[in-house]
Chain A
Amino acid sequence: MNREAAVNWVRQNIPTVLLWVVLLTMPFWMKAVGGYTELATRVVVFGLAAMALNFLLGFTGTLSFGHAAYFGIGAYGVGLTIKYLVPSTAVGMLVGVVSGTLAAALIGALIVRLRGVYFAMVTIAFGQVFYFIAFRWNSVTGGDDGLNGWQRQALKLGWTTLDIQTHDKTFYYFALTCFALSALTMALLLKSPFGRTLVAIRENERRARFLGIDVERHLWLSFVISCAFVSLAGTLYALLNNFTDPRALRWDMSGNFVIMAVLGGMRSFWGPLIGAAIFVVLQDYVSSVTQNWMSVVGLVFVLVVLFFPRGVLGLLRGRGKL
């Protein structure tokens, strides 16, 4: 009996273990399959963003189409801090995440009473405010040309220094560490009573309300948590490129996050990461072979919605393979 339980445990966790083996070794075989280290980092960064969005979308059942705003605030937060205030990666990331989270807390309070399609519409519209601020405030943000003239700095960790500035593999593992910690936090949150409450709200909001759950407060918290992790992903994205521009917080970026989550499978924890990997690699490949990559990406949206609405993992699960 005990042995059976152990075997079951192993069988259930094989996919997760495999996933981590892939993530941990990615920089070493990326070149062999025609990629590059930066592409691997991008997969991890967008994977984090899509999983953070899915915290709200898949587990709370609320569709936000404006998460790029908080992604972008994180990106600009770290860039502006390093450029104008302190040349420190850690401080910059802290500023980025805190400002993204604060913005989400403010806007979240305005919109938690909306539902469904209206919630989506308002999040899209609010996302544009930050886009216009970044776009228009030339003297500080660099406007349409983006924010350059700064670089990620080596991380000083008391006993040693992590040279993430020049070693892109080191930066990959730094990003992966951030990703792992975030994923762990989100997994623990989802397993906690708070997380179960979110799922209860997703499944039947009215019943949850009758049970005495403060639905608005839970939605707000879920929104803020989700945005906090998205802004962390945004800081990593800016650090990866040593650059950020208003496109990081435009509505098409929000749409990309949503399609990543749906493409991978939004009912599963790791699905969005898979979706992000597929999307990032596909976009990288398509934009290198054709100028009309927008049509291809658009076609991906259409095909996913019409034929794979449950995503890759949903498809595999439906056949009992996972």
Chain B
Amino acid sequence: MLQLILFNIFNGLIVGAFYALMALGLSLILNLSGVINFAHGGFLALGAYLAYSLMPFVGFWGALLLAPFLTAAIGLVIERLMIRRLYGRDPLYSLLLTFGLAYILEDVTRFIWGAQSLPYPIPAWLTRPLSTQFFFLTGYRLFMVLLVALAVAALFFILRYTRLGMRIRAGTLDLETVSALGVNVRVLRNLNFGLGIYLAGLAGVLAAGMLGLQPTIGTSLIMPSFVAIIVGGLGSLPGTLVGGLLIGIASGLTTVFFPSASEAVIYVMMGLVLLLRPRGLFGEEGRLQ
């Protein structure tokens, strides 16, 4: 029993790490530009498939390194061509636009790589379990958790200590003033969007190794990411991180006792948070309005 619970908690932690990675990217874009990027899941799938196609040429590690950057580059172009026009308008329009993009991205991935799921090869030494008692602790899973931790640490480092990060944080609070101080806000929002998409691409490559490749891989991860943002608190990146891990673990634990509710439980959590603390666990007051 204990082993089963530990297994599911660990599983939840991994899933939660994916949610967090997705949600952090979404949150970055939402906080600075006020855009809910519905196509985030599509970018995730794109990252995964790009890695799959790159792998024969650059190997596993090369794909892991390159695919997220390629995805981010595509994101930069899409932001430049379409999403940029909608800043400052009713959020309805950016939602609809990214919604349409999500459709297109899913369909294009299906068109190029086919509808059936593909296996994503990972190095053999990573797939071995680390101990016989805890069979679920394969090297790849541990590696994934470590990599997500590293990515999150890097993100917070960038936001805290680099000029770009400082500008993003300042822009989140008061974009007009940042603009008046001579920062090119268009470029800032563009780069910020790219950063968010990079995280989606990275999540995609990692998810591919665990779940295999499917065109719908992103859509199943995006809704929980919304929940993670709301539970963690609007406008707070650490909150988003905690929210993602929390709902992942909650969903994992529910699998032990009541498997068919493992998806619904996170929405119940969201309802509770909205009832008891509408701004979310770490949310700033006044962000809701």
Contacts and interface: CB of A to CB of B under 8 A. Distances in A.
Interface string A89-130: 000000000000000000100110111111011101110110
B116 interface: no
Identify whether the interface residues of B are mostly helix, strand, loop, or mixed: helix
A126 B267 contact: yes
Nearest to A116: B91
Interface string A117-155: 110111011101100110011000000000000000000
A118 B108 CA distance: 29
Contact of A125 (B90, B97, B227): B227
Given A111-B274, A129-B267, A121 B92 contact: no
Contacts of A114: 274, 278, 288
Interface residues of A, number: 43
For the residues of A in contact with B, the DSSP-based class is: helix
A156 B220 CA distance: 44
Interface stretch (A13-21, A164-172, A235-243, A290-298): A290-298
A118 B234 contact: yes
Nearest to B35: A117
A65 interface: yes
A301 B223 contact: no
A259 interface: yes
Interface stretch (B9-17, B99-107, B194-202): B99-107
Contacts of A111: 274
Contacts of B106: 294
B223 A305 contact: no
Nearest to A57: B92
A107 B93 CA distance: 24
A297 B104 CA distance: 8
A48 B82 CA distance: 31
Contacts of B90: 63
Interface string B62-91: 000000000000000000001001100111
B264 interface: yes
A259 B103 CA distance: 13
A245 B27 CA distance: 32
B230 A115 contact: no
A298 B104 CA distance: 5
A214 to B, nearest CB: 16
Contact of A298 (B34, B36, B91, B101): B101
A117 B264 contact: no
12 contacts: A63-B91, A65-B95, A114-B278, A121-B226, A125-B227, A137-B260, A295-B107, A298-B102, A299-B100, A301-B101, A309-B89, A309-B93
Interface of B: 30, 34-36, 82, 85-86, 89-93, 95-97, 99-104, 106-108, 111, 223, 226-227, 229-230, 234, 260-261, 263-264, 267-268, 270-271, 274-275, 278, 287-289
Interface of A: 57, 63, 65, 107, 110-111, 113-118, 120-122, 124-126, 128-129, 132-133, 136-137, 251-252, 255, 258-259, 262, 292, 294-295, 297-302, 304-306, 309
